[in-house]
Structure 1
């Protein structure tokens, strides 16, 4: 008498690896660019004020950086298509790093703005070329988790460099901070030749202008832009808004905000892969607005730190959810366009926030300006609600 072997449940297919050699190498240039940017992001407005600029004009430095980044992102996809990922990424790292070496050669506002503008063009190339390359290295079925990992790696330099730049500027000098920021970007160029290039591009490409006419890309981009406006305000004006006696609170806030944002991106990525990223867009927006509203209590240390933490959580969720949605809705050939549009929302929003908030706060005071910002962010609820009912492919 023979017995049949017990039936076996088919094993679930193995998930493709997430952390490959190519992605690990890409992290080198990512960390270099991010650290270079954030080391000076909050330090430059303080350097400008120390050199004689007022609080409102000091915001022009961040505004110039983000304006140039936004303009560069419009043309970067064409450069990537013509020269490939590697050449565009290397050029971006050079333009980001070299001008930082001479930032403190002059203390005039015109010079500071010019240096920030050139760095912004370089940063645009690193974002578009590097972002598209990074997305191409992540398996589609693990996109949310992969982008969350990318957010963690990119968030660590933000976490460390943002408050460190302010502290070093005050204790060591802004010249040393500028040289360090420049060196970080320039050294990272050495990692670029080992990265893959054009062979990752597949499918029909959607241009930037066509992307701006595509609702499936514009809606999440608009929501993210609203949170990015607040991000530009937080990193530029929290150190200026809090009383001078609360300098330690400003440094702590600049540490807490990117730390919580990084955690938010990781949580949103893992949850979004399971239940859909579209469901997370609205909660991210509402948490961000609530955090900005709480930060309006600028004379209360707990409120300032708690407000930027709440904002950071919402901002991290919005970052991952919107980017995951946008990549899922195009082919790999259009990853450069998605990277450009998403980063255009990021950097354009930060630039508008930095410049607009400075002019607003000069007339209303910082507390009222934070309240008005939170109210204006709620205008993005409409596209957020529409995308909440749209399932990610």
Structure 2
């Protein structure tokens, strides 16, 4: 007589796959929409300048998109709670991609600015919705690593799209590039059906700026904003601060920053899951402050390249660490709020930093202005250290 015994199957959380089919499709959507954005980031200003709108029009196009994104980010959590991920992310893809086709018809400044505003709204929906969804679908004990992988999907389009967009204008022209940018975003619609129809909890905290006292969210929000201030300044003013005959140096420096940021974001996520994001945040800020401070020596080739590389490391790590820290401190009902707050710090710091720096540099010159930028990041080290358990 043979007896059999059943061996119980035990689920081991550590064995959970990080990149599931659903997560992979989300990453594909993020990559395509990011490529759509970055292909036109430098091209739209060129398009306006070529059409006679000059530097003022070029600056307004970037400002219109960023201000639109900041405004819409405040309402995305409410949209997610009401309509769910499929509808909201699909709307974001359409708003980011489809208006690019309008640029085939006209270079009129008011219409181009309207296109930038609509695309900014689409961008806001996608970044807030995607980050919140990553927090939902990733295993909680591997959340930092998940944000690191997400960071690669977000960072690669910048590395590819920023130089490629400008290069392609000489090969295929503006019109073909506008179509390519539209397709890159709209292609993501095929992945929408794989996204959850609704959020995972019924009661969502939809007020982005509500209930912040005692939530543990204010410190990482302000710390990250300090770093994004420096990020916006470096990308905007480094090309202006360096002599025109050294534009290849600027391209190299910005490329190093664009490459190191997503790599550091991924590595920071892996280690944050093991030792906690709070312990790594202060060192990341030190890297960012050192990188920003190196630009004081704006006449040195080594200082520019090394400084941009150090800043890229600190900036990328700070992106992951602040985001992971914020999600670790809230229940699922506040995931949308965290995503909106973090993206507000990103876009708001980027825009405000560029505006203030432009006013300061007129009176101080570039070296001192870059030194003040580094000081802003360095000051953020204090609350990061004080938050350690």
TM score, norm. by length of structure 2:
0.88
Paired residues of 2:85 and 2:199 also in contact (CA < 8 A): no
CA displacement, residues 59-86 of structure 1 (integer Å, 9 cap, x when unaligned): 4433322211111110111111111111
The match for 1:187 is 187
| Paired residue secondary structure (1:198) | coil
Q: Name the counterpart of 1:322.
A: 322
The verdict on how the C-alpha distance between 1:104 and 1:213 changes in structure 2, with shifts beyond 3 A counting, is farther
Question: Do structure 1's residue 150 and structure 2's residue 150 form an aligned pair?
Answer: yes
Does the 8 Å contact 1:296/1:366 carry over to 2?
yes
CA distance in structure 2 between the aligned counterparts of 1:169 and 1:271, rounded to whole angstroms: 41
Contact 1:66/1:347, CA 8 A, preserved across alignment: yes
- Deviates further, 62-71 or 106-115: 106-115
1:297–1:178 distance in 2 versus 1, CA, 3 Å = farther
Structure 1 residue 138: Cα displacement:
0.2
SS in 1 for 2:352: helix
**What residue in structure 1 maps to residue 7 of structure 2?**
none
Contact 1:162 1:254 in 2 (8 A): no
Give distance in 2, aligned partners of 1:52 and 1:62.
17
**CA offset digits 1:96-134 (Å, max 9, x no partner):** 112223347555654443332221111111112222112
SS of 1:306's partner is: helix
* Structure-2 separation of matches of 1:83 and 1:176: 34
How many Å separate the matches in 2 of 1:356 and 1:297?
21
155-164 or 219-228: which moved more?
Answer: 155-164
Match runs of 1:38-57 below 5 Å: 38-50=38-50
Q: 1:185 to 1:244 in 2, by over 3 A?
A: same
Is structure 2 residue 353 aligned with structure 1 residue 357?
Answer: no
Separation in structure 1 between the aligned mates of residue 178 and residue 231 of structure 2, nearest angstrom = 22
TM-score with structure 1 setting the length: 0.87
Question: Greater shift after overlay, 358-367 or 306-315?
Answer: 358-367
1:122 aligns with 2:140: no
For 2:56 and 2:202, the matched residues in 1 are separated by 46
Partner of 1:345: 345
For the residues of structure 2 that align with 1:187 and 1:222, how far apart are their CA atoms?
35
Alpha-carbon offset, residue 39 of structure 1: 2.0
Listed as ranges, the matches of 1:11-50 within 5 Å are: 14-50=14-50
Q: Which residue of 1 aligns with 2:377?
A: 377
How large is the Cα RMSD of the aligned pairs? 2.7
Q: Deviations over 1:252-288 (max 9, x none)?
A: 2332212100111111111111111011222222221
Relative distance call for 1:232 and 1:375 in structure 2 (3 A) is same
SS at match of 1:95: helix
Q: Deviations over 1:226-250 (max 9, x none)?
A: 1111222223333343322222223
**How far apart are residue 341 of structure 1 and its match?**
0.6
Asked whether the equivalents of residues 64 and 113 of structure 1 are also in contact (C-alpha less than 8 Å), the reply is yes
Contact residue 296 and residue 368 of structure 2 kept, 8 A: yes
Residue 243, structure 1, aligned to residue 243, structure 2:
yes
| 1:337 Cα deviation after fit | 0.9
Q: Relative to structure 2, which stretch is displaced further, 315-324 or 290-299?
A: 290-299
- CA distance in structure 1 between the partners assigned to 2:44 and 2:375 by the alignment: 28
**Equivalent in the alignment of 1:140:** 140
Are residues 94 and 11 of structure 1, via their aligned partners in 2, closer, same or farther at CA, if it must alter by over 3 Å? Answer: closer
**Are residues 167 and 76 of structure 1, via their aligned partners in 2, closer, same or farther at CA, if it must alter by over 3 Å?**
same
Partner of 1:162: 162
Where does residue 5 of structure 1 map in the other structure? none
| Residue 232 (structure 1) aligned with residue 232 (structure 2) | yes
* Pairwise CA distance, 1:14: 4.1
Distance 2:83 2:251 in 1: 41
Where does 1:213-232 land on structure 2 (aligned, <5 Å)? 213-232=213-232
CA distance in 2, matches of 1:109, 1:11: 58
